[in-house]
Structure 1
Amino acid sequence: MKLTRREFLAMAGRASAALPFLLGQSGCTGFVIKTDPETGLSLGYVAGDVTHDSAIVWLRAQPGSLVSLQYGKDPALSEFMSLAPISVESDSDYSARIKIERLEPATRYYYRAAVAGKKPGPIARFLTAPAPNDNAIVKFCFSGDTRESYQPFTIMDAIRANQPNFFVHLGDTIYADRNGTATQLPEFWAKYRDNRDDAASQRLFADTSVYVVWDDHEVADNYEGFHPLAATARRAFFDYWPVGRNSQETDRLYRSFRWGKVVDLFLLDARQYRDHSSGTLLGKQQKEWLFDSLASSSALFKCIATSVPFYGGGRDRWDGYPRERAEVFQWINQKKIKNVASISADVHYAAVTRLSDRLRLKEIVAGPMAAPLNVLATGLSKRFEFFFNKNFNFGMITIDPKSSTPHMLVEIRDPINETLYKTRIDAV
């Protein structure tokens, strides 16, 4: 039997998906992550929560070291600015999140960490968002689900090849409850170290910035509301991702980011405020924030990033909260909010779903990047405009406000960067 290249790679992907089960599960001890003796650094960098004038950089250094961040516009950093050194401490697993401020919009910045007495680390880069009134084209990629036993995460190289302005990780960034269950903070840290040690992930994170939300597997399967491990798991999440802390509500993960006049990105926390008895997935404060933010947005497109999809997947997703889901759609209709789209992951298949024809509301589902494929899902629902569960995948969105008809171009791509599906959503 002769196979096409795509068929061969799809078969290889499914074979690698089965491999962890064939080899058995490992304990939750984590790999030994060696520090580079020349630089005193380990696990690369991650830039995140980028705005038009700021960014947060995550890094990890050898115990007891003082580390500073150098940054500038010169790719070789022959000229740079330097932030005051900070000490990495054991209570954050020797990681640090450093905020860079007073940056220029729509500008490529280069940065590196420097441990006192050591050679400076490698140079990475990120792009700041356009100014709020800038009508620039925006391109970003997104997906979810990265389970350590499915390394290497080669799909990260495919994402990187598209040179997105930023990448959105929609949760299940680790699997704390698989291949050894994490119950203590050092065990959660070990899960993050294992995934951050992936070479393809380090290459992607060195080349663009990241917005990240969590889902259930950062804590436990189908985690919702109060869970005895939630506080510990949330601390580890903050320790290992460049996520800004809200000064009024330090545990808050929902937040928004604007890229010019083109898109407002609303990142939801679909886990820690759930209460089935009250029928809420978002909780009162987050729902009010989302409603107010959507109504006040002047961006061309409003993109809701939810770790779980609005349609499909059963009780653990928005299907389990039909009243609140209806409230979201009713608010969009009542306030006549145009050009809303949703991106999500979690269900381990890719899809483009018609949520409401009347509202012209679509959801783009991507993933997994490296986790079991949902081979039991059928995609027979009439809501599905597209459905795919044969291989790992990611989504890419390009918003062009300068076209004769401003629009959002949606693509679903596979691990070799071939386009599985493409559709265009015109702005109205």
Structure 2
Amino acid sequence: MPNRRRFIQQLSVAAAAATVPSWFYIQRSPDLRPLLPGGVSAGDVIQDRALIWSRSDRPARMWIDWSTTESFKKFNTIQGPAALPESDFTSKIDLTGLPTGQEIFYRVRYQSLEDLKLWSEPSIGRLRTAPGSFRNVRFQWGGDTCGQGWGINPELGGMKIYSQMAQRNPDFFIHSGDTIYADGPIQAEVKLPDGKIWKNIVTEEKSKVAETMQEFRGNYRYNLLDENLRNFNAKVPILYQWDDHEVLNNWYPEEIHDDKRYSEKNVALLAARAKRAFLEYNPIRSNGEDPERIYRRVSYGPLLDVFMIDMRSYRAANGPNKQTQAGPDTAFLGRQQIQWLKEGLLASKATWKVIASDMPLGLIVYDDYATKGTFENGANGNGPALGRELETADLLRFMLHNEIKNVVWLTADVHYCAAHYYDPAKAQFKEFRPFYEFVAGPLNAGTFGPGELDNTFGPQVLFQKAPPTGQGNLSPLAGLQFFGEVNIDAETAEMKVALWDNLGQRLFEQKIVAQ
């Protein structure tokens, strides 16, 4: 194995160059060489390819060197796209022809388009391609970054949970949504109940709700000011999905909202800008037929297929959610995505099928907590499957009748951690095979919960950790920040799912035997 200490030192040197905003360097750099203020990251890694992302601070051409050794004694060089103002100087390339099941080191350089003789310093990252044979697999998941006003606190060392996760050396990470809080401005100081002061780094774009392209992009740039996050991105490939706060709390495509903080009330327009920023700033492999499609399947060797779903883009309006017949008003994933998911699960030959969901199945999330008459999630209260639950029931029934086994759901959204077991013997709708759902988050946001379970699909609480009753929106100082980790054993195919906190303590573990 490569010398990991030396590699981490390289990352620290590279990250130091990105701790100061790009405008500072534009004023001070005598030769105007490009800089990489957001570092580098990789995503959607499979057996022979990976998406590589970075951002210049000025017009420049992206170049990537990759090698199977960290010394780069021998390496391949790939010319990438131009980073231009139209994409906020972001760029990414689908790196192909990689060896299967191999640790890959890569470095990104930018060549100035204003003076071709000027080059940036390289920024270094690493990844592991998916194995072609049986090999132990470790990956993590979580969601909710910089929410509820809790941003990057330099006095606490920033978002240190990312350092805790990196120390566990996962093959990849699933970000389960709320990658930013476009609707959550950050203040310089927040007074805590005990009198202490939480101090945030503040930028212009994070000082108001995001409405323009520049403001949505600024939310991603804000998160990348954190050194822990940049180092994590360079070490761990990430699979991204989105939820609501990338746009607006509890949004749906047809909504005309009434939030007085906004001058733009049309959610469809806000969502279009938000999605473009999301795709610009994250290494997601685009779909040729639909380049804006977020749902996708990522295969990681014979033991694992990950189905990244999108519960946001195709939903009908939030409402009472009590329809007795499926139709346009009950859409959640939408007919096309449901068909894609069914076909993918049926075709999968992997031992484990993980469905990465941006919302839990059985936890009730109200659209309006004041009246509790409308629902943001599929769950709508105890009883038979109604409304959006009809879509879930149809999917679960399909998996039962087609003997699709070893399906595990991973999610975030509710800002606490939990393990749920869905048992048809205790459910109102019974046509499904028992399965587990695990919830992890927030990563750096307010902590809430626990939530109320809906008995339609028979969820049972195996474990949960949340704030004491009556307390909500606790800051990360409370220690209630969580991530999840999955380990799959190559010899036994056994899956172990664990829930961890930001202090590096394992809180819970569930062993699941493959059927």
Q: 2:110 aligns with which of 106, 112, 115?
A: 115
Q: 1:48 aligns with which of 10, 31, 43?
A: 43
The runs of 5 or more residues in structure 2 that have no matched partner are 1-19, 112-117, 153-157, 186-207, 255-266, 318-327, 366-374, 381-387, 426-432, 468-479
- Aligned to 1:395, the other structure's residue is in SS state strand
Q: Secondary structure at 2:499's aligned position in 1? A: strand
1:306 aligned partner: 357
Question: 1:199-230 CA distances to partner (integer Å, 9 max, x unpaired)?
Answer: 11111111110000000000110012343311
Match of 2:489 in 1: 400
Which residue of the partner structure matches residue 263 of structure 1?
304
Indicate conservation of the 8 Å contact 1:52/1:103, yes or no: yes
* Corresponding position of 1:209: 237
Pick aligned residue for 1:372 from 443, 446, 465: 446
Specify the alignment match of 2:378 in structure 1.
318
One of 435, 438, 443 as aligned partner of 1:361: 435
Contact 2:414 2:449 in 1 (8 A): no
The TM-score with structure 1 as length reference comes to: 0.88
SS in 2 for 1:84: strand
Is 1:154 the counterpart of 2:160 in the alignment? yes
CA contact (8 A) 1:45 1:202 kept: yes
Residue 383 of structure 1 pairs with residue 455 of structure 2: no
For the pair 1:338 / 2:423, whether they are aligned, the reply is no
For 2:188, the equivalent position in structure 1 comes to none
> Partners in 1 of 2:422 and 2:176 — Cα distance?
19
The residue type paired with residue 143 of structure 1 is: G
- Alpha carbons 1:33, 1:197 under 8 Å: kept: no
1:87 is matched with 82
CA RMSD of aligned residues (A): 1.9
| Equivalent pair of 1:267/1:305 in contact (CA under 8 Å) | yes
* Runs (4+) off by over 4 Å: 31-39, 378-382
Give distance in 2, aligned partners of 1:316 and 1:91. 34
Confirm whether residue 291 of structure 1 aligns to residue 297 of structure 2: no
Report if aligned partners of 2:81, 2:92 keep a CA contact under 8 Å in 1.
Answer: no
Alignment of 1:102-141 (within 5 A): 102-116=97-111, 117-131=118-132, 134-141=133-140
Aligned partner letter, 1:200: N
SS at match of 1:299: coil
Deviation, 1:32, is: 4.5
Q: Which residue of 1 aligns with 2:385?
A: none
Structure 2 letter corresponding to 1:388: K
1:153–1:34 Cα change, 3 Å: farther
| Partner Cα separation in structure 2 for residue 353 and residue 419 of structure 1 | 17
Post-superposition offset of 1:49: 0.9
Letter in 1 for 2:36: L
Q: Does residue 424 of the first structure (1) align with residue 511 of the second (2)? A: yes
- 8 Å contact kept, 1:379–1:387: no
Displacement after TM superposition at 1:150 (Å): 2.7
Q: Secondary structure of 1:110's partner?
A: strand
Q: Which amino acid aligns with 2:139?
A: F
Q: Flag the structure with more relative contact order, 1 or 2, with Cα contacts below 8 A and sequence separation at least 6.
A: 1
1:235-271 CA-partner distances (Å, limit 9, x unpaired) = 0000100011111112110000111110110000110
Give runs of aligned pairs for residues 225-236 of structure 1, distance below 5 A. 225-226=253-254, 227-228=267-268, 229-236=270-277
- 2:42 partner SS: strand
Pair 1:352-2:419 in alignment: yes
Identity %: 29
> Counterpart in 1 of 2:293?
252
Q: 1:188 aligns with which of 216, 238, 242?
A: 216
Q: For the structure 1 residues 241 and 78, does the alpha-carbon distance in structure 2 shift closer, same or farther, using more than 3 Å as the test?
A: same
Question: Are the aligned partners of 1:170 and 1:344 in contact in 2 as well (CA < 8 Å)?
Answer: yes
Q: 1:109 offset after TM fit, Å?
A: 0.7
Change (3 A) 1:127 1:35: farther
TM-score by length of 2: 0.73
Unaligned runs of 5+ in 1: 1-30
Residues of 2 paired with 1:104 and 1:317: CA distance? 41
Cα pair 1:39 1:121 within 8 Å, conserved: no
Q: Does 1:172 align with 2:170?
A: no
Structure 1 residue 64: Cα displacement: 1.7
Cα distance 1:39–1:109, how it changes in 2: closer, same or farther (>3 A)?
farther
Asked if structure 2 preserves the Cα contact closer than 8 Å seen for 1:356 and 1:362, the reply is no
SS of 1:383's partner is: strand
C-alpha displacement of 1:374: 0.7
Decide whether the 8 Å contact of 2:136 with 2:488 is kept in 1. Answer: yes
Partner residue in 2 for 1:61: 56
3-state DSSP class of the match of 2:64? strand
Q: Which residue of 1 aligns with 2:114?
A: none
Distance 1:393 1:118 in 2: 40
- Rounded to whole Å, the distance in 2 between the matches of 1:283 and 1:203 is 37
Go from structure 1 to structure 2 and tell me whether the alpha carbon gap of 1:143 and 1:306 turns closer, same or farther (over 3 Å shift): same
Offset, 1:144: 0.2
Indicate the structure (1 or 2) with the bigger Cα radius of gyration: 2
